[in-house]
């Protein structure tokens, strides 16, 4: 009995056209795989959050992380990342001296992944990741806040930040700017752009508007995509 040539069999398989049933099976398999990812990684965190407050996880790029650190570097006080995902911003913040650095993430799988990354980096005892709903976290002791959230929830986030953050706290928003606050600095281009905001006073819309309207945006710091915070030069991350 002659044995089939593996090369010929592979060529025949490549040239073979899938029938309707095979296409249906492939589509079903792909759909099942997508649902498995959703069920394991995303759905556990969404079950406890109202639909209008749900935010899909999209990890920050290396450039986005650099930009966040550039706008927060050297600032004292507690640094938090709301919706910290796999913990990359929190870990990077700790490494550049922003301490304590804390992440809040509702999805248990992402919290576990963040803790694994911290353990592999030798920082397991230094950074903290909490499985908590960011809408229920108190920000009254936070001096630096990082957020990478969807535009649909940013108006509600503004209310929370303004009501809870102390005077002088800085907020850095990635990918999308806060809708009504006036930024004191911007860094990056396109989806890598981040915006920095400072809280002039605890609570009170009129106080915020009065102070933010006096903060200039036209004082450029070194670098083609860097804007400076009034009175505070910002350095590019290396």
0.75 cut: is pTM over it?
A: no
Phi, psi (5° rounding) for residue 102?
-135, 140
Residue 81 lies in a domain: yes
Whole-angstrom CA distances from 203 to 27, 113, 167, 218 are: 52, 35, 9, 27
Let me know if residue 18 belongs to a domain. Answer: no
Q: Is 184 contained in some domain?
A: yes
pLDDT digits (tens, 9 = 90+) for 180-198: 999 999 999 999 999 999 9
Instruction: Assess if residue 177 is contained within a domain.
Output: yes
Distance, in Å, from the CA atom of 196 to the CA atom of 228, rounded to the nearest integer, reads 10
Q: How far apart are CA 149 and CA 173, in angstroms?
A: 8
pLDDT band at 203 (very low <50, low <70, confident <90, very high): very low
Tens digits of residue pLDDT in 116-129 = 999 999 999 999 99
Say which CATH number the domain at 179 has: 3.40.50.150
Predicted confidence at residue 56, as pLDDT, reads 75
- The answer to whether residue 25 is domain-embedded is no
- Domain encompassing residue 118: 62-199
b/e string for 160-194 if b means 16 or more Cβ within 10 A?
A: bbbebbeeebbbbbbbbbbeebbbbbbbbeeebbb
The answer to the question of residue 237 being in a domain is: no
Q: Is residue 139 part of a domain?
A: yes
Q: Can you list the alpha helix ranges (DSSP code H) found in the chain?
A: 6-15, 20-37, 43-46, 62-72, 88-95, 108-120, 154-164, 205-212
What are the pLDDT digits (tens) for 134-175? 999 999 999 999 999 999 999 999 999 999 999 999 999 999
**Does residue 34 belong to any structural domain of this protein?**
no
pLDDT of residue 34: 54
Report the alpha-carbon distance of residue 102 to residue 117 in Å, rounded: 14
Give the per-residue pLDDT at 48. 52
Q: Classify strands 170-174 and 142-147 as parallel, antiparallel or unpaired.
A: parallel
Quote the number of domains for the chain: 1
Per-residue pLDDT tens over the stretch 40-67: 555 444 445 454 555 678 899 999 999 9
């Amino acid at each position: 009995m002659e044995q089939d040539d593996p090369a010929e069999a592979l060529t025949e398989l490549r040239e073979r056209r899938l029938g309707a049933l095979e296409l249906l099976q492939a589509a079903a398999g792909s759909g099942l795989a997508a649902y498995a990812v959703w069920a394991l990684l995303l759905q556990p965190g969404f079950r406890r959050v109202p639909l209008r407050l749900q935010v899909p996880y999209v990890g920050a790029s290396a450039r986005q992380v650099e930009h966040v650190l550039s706008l927060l570097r050297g600032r004292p006080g507690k640094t938090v990342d709301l919706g910290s995902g796999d913990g990359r911003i929190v870990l990077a913040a700790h490494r550049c001296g922003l301490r304590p650095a804390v992440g809040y993430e509702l999805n248990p799988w992402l919290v576990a992944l963040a803790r694994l990354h911290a353990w592999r980096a030798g920082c397991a005892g230094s950074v903290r990741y909490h499985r908590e709903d960011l809408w229920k976290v108190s920000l009254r002791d936070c001096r630096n806040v990082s957020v990478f959230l969807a535009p649909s929830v940013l108006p509600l986030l503004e209310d929370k930040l303004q009501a809870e953050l102390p005077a002088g706290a800085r907020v850095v928003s990635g990918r999308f700017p806060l809708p009504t606050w006036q930024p004191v600095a911007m860094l990056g281009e396109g989806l890598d752009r981040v915006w920095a905001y400072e809280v002039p006073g605890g609570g009170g819309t009129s106080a915020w508007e009065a102070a933010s309207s006096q903060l200039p945006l036209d004082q450029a710091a070194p670098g083609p995509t860097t804007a400076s915070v009034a009175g505070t030069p910002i350095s590019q991350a290396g």
